[in-house]
Amino acid sequence: MRSTFPKWRAALAGLAVAAMAATTLVGTAGTAQAAPSLTKGLKVFVVPKNLGNSYFTTADSVKSGGALAALQQLGEIGQETSGTTDTPASQLPVIQADITKGANALIISGTDPAALCPTLNAAMKKGITVVTYDSDTNCRSLFIEQATAQGIGAIEVDLLAAEIHDTGQIAIVSASIDDTNQNTWIGYMKQELKKFPKITLVKIVYGNDDTATSTQVTEGLLSGYPNLKGIISPTSVGLPAVAAVLDSAKYRGKIYATGLATPNEMKKYIADGTVIAFALWNPANLGYLAAYAAVELASHAITNAPGQTFVAGKLGKYVVGADHTVLLGAPFVLNKSNVNQFNF
């Protein structure tokens, strides 16, 4: 198995992983105290793109120390709700039902930048706090961003470029065609690809954050592009599906895949050499931070103006940045040297 990951990239990744491990170890046992000014008993709905995706289970659940854990610590009434597919048609009725149930705040991973907006704008007019996390919409008070979109796009291209020696045809297996986050990252991937003139992006296909569809579109790529050298899948559902298709003597070491995924879903493919490296951030911390931001806003303890600051429990102090965003941190790289340190 080749390992061509440049030393400086590995060193950077190591630093990021160390930072991430330190916060992970704090787990759910954090004894964060709610600031006295925060309102208790708020009804806060956490709305991932869809249910049944383990990335969102980690981001949201009490057990992992995600959004619902923070809401519990703050004395709010938190609930995770969503549809079954990564589409606005599936997500929207659930958001509408949350509003009918008396939501004070909504924390949403957007399945589309615009389609949710008539509903979310009406909610904000009624005084409901709308925060996005993971995937943005054009209508919200704050976006809690996992890492810069440029950083996420660039790291995936850099990882694959190193593995294919900066040469050859590549494709992307994305989530849905409308997802804000994947489309933004793909835009930055195209920018980063300009640094690699011998790499050609031949096709973008969509697995809709569904394993069966992701498998099918990957197989389609392999038969349609016999000279394909690499695949980027910037989705935690897509990348394990791509890896499963490539996990055979026919493809291993010949076609490389990277992207974003949770460690537990990739351990097998890292161990057998199908995948060398991939990237992520700490999803539980993302959910935790989003919950604090939503409660701060809903309590009128902060506004969404750039420069506002708040303390997000065990994670410490955050500042509202340009475009009304709050940045969690940097993406980190997982490979065989560290993937087994994580359990989510």
CB of 259 to ligand RAM, least distance (A): 8
Q: Please name which of 39, 199, 204, 212 lies closest in space to residue 129, comparing C-alpha atoms.
A: 39
Q: How far is the CB of 203 from ligand RAM (least distance, A)?
A: 19
* Single residue of 236, 274, 299, 335 touching ligand RAM by CB under 6 A: 236
According to DSSP, the β-strands at 256-259 and 43-47 are: unpaired
Are the beta carbons of 110 and 136 closer than 8 angstroms?
Answer: yes
Q: With 0-12 CB in 10 A as exposed, 13-18 as middle and 19+ as buried, what is 79?
A: middle
Residues in region 31-70 near ligand RAM by CB under 6 A:
49, 53, 55
**Interface with ligand RAM: number of residues (CB under 6 A):** 13
Please, which residues bridge with residue 231 across strands? Answer: 171, 257
Question: Rounded to an integer, what distance in angstroms lies between the CA atom of residue 335 and that of residue 122?
Answer: 45
Q: How far is the CB of 58 from ligand RAM (least distance, A)?
A: 10
Kindly tell me which residue out of 80, 112, 134, 296 binds ligand RAM, with binding defined by CB under 6 A. Answer: 134
Query: Tell me, what amino acid is at 263?
Result: P
> Any contact of residue 184 with ligand RAM (CB under 6 A)?
no
Q: Does 178 bind ligand RAM (CB under 6 A)?
A: no
Q: Which stretch binds ligand RAM (CB under 6 A): 121-129, 212-220, 235-243, 304-312?
A: 235-243
- 175 lines the binding site for ligand RAM (CB under 6 A): yes
Backbone angles phi, psi at 157, to 5 degrees: -65, -45
Instruction: Determine the Cα angle at 293 with ends 259 and 286, to 5°.
Output: 20
The nearer residue to ligand RAM, 82 or 109, going by C-beta atoms, is 109
CB of 125 to ligand RAM, least distance (A): 27
Q: Which is nearer to ligand RAM, 53 or 137 (CB)?
A: 53
